[in-house]
Amino acid sequence: MKPEVETKTALDAQLPGIVGDSPAMREVYRLTRLVGPTSASVLLVGETGTGKEVIARAIHQQGPRNEGPYVRVNCGALSESLLESELFGHIKGAFTGAIENKTGRFEAAHMGTIFLDEISTISPKLQVKLLRVLQEHEFERVGESRTIRVNTRVIAATNQFLEDEIAAGRFRDDLYYRLNVVPIYLPPLRERREDISALARHFLARYSEENRRDPPDLTPALEKVLLSHDWPGNVRELENCIERAVVLSNGRPLTADLLAPPDRSLKRWKPIRGRGSDLDGLIQQVVRAGILAVPPEDRNLYDRVVRGVEKELLDQVMAIERNVVVKAALRLGINRNTLQKKITHKESPDSAESPAPTAPASEG
């Protein structure tokens, strides 16, 4: 019996560089250590800001591929045509703008790990190519017929319930089963409140050092303020909050107003819930989560958030109305032809705001 207890304790222990000792996180550590040394595909599921990439790196570092490359791809940041080229590469002349050969991310991750973030956003066409890579370990570059074989571990992440995406016809069930060999759920911060104080102190120390300031004290009163908030943006939101507080405190003791966004109290800042919630409050939460999800260096925030919200609205209403355009248009309160144009525009690879290559000369 004793060895079993010791093994369990070793599996549950905190991973290096990760803060949190709640039961929910100990389960994450346990699964990470169990799956790390294998070659199994892993699906990380959790809200935005819960640390999915941190766990993906930990899985890579736990296994025999830890000396190989670790390659990250944000699938939601690119149009279909650009993502295909990014994942699988292309040859010179494959499409307008392809002035030289390009090695894809799968090829770059050979004998290592590729992390596919926002996997739910990839198109049906790319889902087919991805399924082939998972099953056969081979693919062709865009515009080339030569087959390339790779030995790459795949870790995917999503903040969506892929079962719902499958039911709506947006995600292939066979690809889901290939990706979901070992699922790991990353709990939101509101489900592991016992980790909030430790995380806050960790970020206080980090950003005080970066800004060459003495770390301010986190008083019991301030801890109470932090624990009372639901943190819809999760760890990323908490980190942002603490960094801002350190900068604005200018070496003075922390106060509750420094922890809140400008011109807001933490009481008003708390998420609005329930069937009686006002629409403005719900929209506020969605937009805030969208802002937190887009890296600061990404200068396409407006288009990504606005068009992302519109796409999700159209998709969900069409699913509710069983893809009957007339009913969906009536529900949305817009003209049927307008809705049809929006759907056509949304599904077209050429509708991306950033310049995208034309259709590839060959899909292999």
48 or 256: which carries more pLDDT confidence? 48
Domains 2-189 and 192-269 share a fold: no
Mean pLDDT of 311-339: 84
- What's the Cα-to-Cα distance from 252 to each of 107, 215, 271, 277, rounded to whole Å? 51, 10, 29, 38
Token pair 């933490």: residue: 266
- What's the Cα-to-Cα distance from 344 to each of 311, 314, 341, 349, 351, rounded to whole Å? 11, 11, 5, 10, 9
Q: What was the pLDDT predicted at 271?
A: 43
Domain 192-269, what fold? Helicase, Ruva Protein; domain 3 (1.10.8)
Is pTM beyond 0.75 here?
Answer: no
194: confidence class by pLDDT, cuts 50, 70, 90: very high
Mean pLDDT of 212-222: 87
Q: How far apart are CA 143 and CA 359, in angstroms?
A: 10
Per-residue pLDDT at 38 exceeds 90: yes
Q: What was the pLDDT predicted at 280?
A: 59
Q: What was the pLDDT predicted at 199?
A: 96
Q: How far apart are CA 259 and CA 256, in angstroms?
A: 5
Report pLDDT digits (tens) over 106-161. 999 999 999 999 999 999 999 999 999 999 999 998 888 899 999 999 999 999 98
CATH of 2-189, one of 3.40.50.300, 3.90.1170.50, 3.10.580.10, 3.40.50.10420: 3.40.50.300
Q: How far apart are CA 156 and CA 69, in angstroms?
A: 16
36 or 300: which carries more pLDDT confidence? 36
181 or 92: which carries more pLDDT confidence? 181
In three-state secondary structure terms, 19 is coil
Q: What was the pLDDT predicted at 313?
A: 86
Mean pLDDT of 11-34: 91
> With pLDDT > 70 as the criterion, what percentage of the chain qualifies?
84
293 or 213: which carries more pLDDT confidence? 213
Residue 144 exposed, middle or buried by CB count within 10 Å (0-12, 13-18, 19+): buried
Instruction: Determine how many CB atoms are found less than 10 A away from the CB of residue 323.
Output: 12
Lowest mean pLDDT among 66-70, 147-151, 250-254: 250-254
Q: What was the pLDDT predicted at 284?
A: 66
Q: What was the pLDDT predicted at 282?
A: 63
Q: Write down the domain spans for the chain.
A: 2-189, 192-269
Q: What was the pLDDT predicted at 270?
A: 45
Q: What was the pLDDT predicted at 285?
A: 63
DSSP assignment of 255-316: -HHHHSPTT--HHHHSPP-STT--HHHHHHHHHHHHHHHS-TT-S-HHHHHHHHHHHHHHHH
Burial 329-345 (b: 16+ CB within 10 A, else e): beebeeeeeebeebbee
Report pLDDT digits (tens) over 306-323. 888 888 888 888 878 778
Instruction: Determine how many CB atoms are found less than 10 A away from the CB of residue 292.
Output: 17
Quote the strand ranges of the chain, DSSP E: 42-46, 70-74, 113-117, 138-140, 147-149, 153-158, 182-186
In three-state secondary structure terms, 140 is strand
